[in-house]
Amino acid sequence: MLWYGAILAYTFPDGKFTPRWTVWLAALLIPLSFLISFGVDPFLNPANWTAPFHLLPNIVFIGGALFAIIYRYVHTSYSAEKQALRWYTIGLSLLVAVYFVNLSMTDIYYLLAGHPLFEGNAMTLKYVLINEPIWFACEDFFAIGLALSVFRDGLLKD
């Protein structure tokens, strides 16, 4: 589902791929996500790849989504549209940043060190008790930013 969300980030708010090269990411994402969702195991399934290459699609697709929304915000020439996109861009950027911090602390650290960063039940519990509220707060902030962007006058005009 995360990859489907990336496609929305590539095209938000006007349905056009900005920057244009994100259409190629979406062309990979749509069939790959669809096949994986229905249990088909294609060659491009990252779960079949060896470490550290199995992390590459998440970094490329989610990082591409972050780049796409920041690129759109920076290259928007209309001040009303830029103002409307501001909170969406901040919310998505914060959410993706927390996603990459979590990816670094769990998967990437394990690949580099050979053992988990949080070993034992006590450390794992502390990680969850700190991480989960931060993640849910970032999701809420993103949802509020999305609502502000969508319902702001002039963003979804023809």
**Residue 74 pLDDT > 60:** yes
pLDDT score at 94: 95
Model confidence band, residue 154 (pLDDT cutoffs 50, 70, 90): low
- 88 or 4, greater pLDDT: 88
pLDDT at 156: 56
Q: What percent of the chain lies above the pLDDT cut of 90?
A: 36
Instruction: Give yes or no for a contact between 48 and 41, defined as CB atoms under 8 angstroms apart.
Output: yes
Report the pLDDT value the prediction gives residue 64, as an integer from 0 to 100.
92
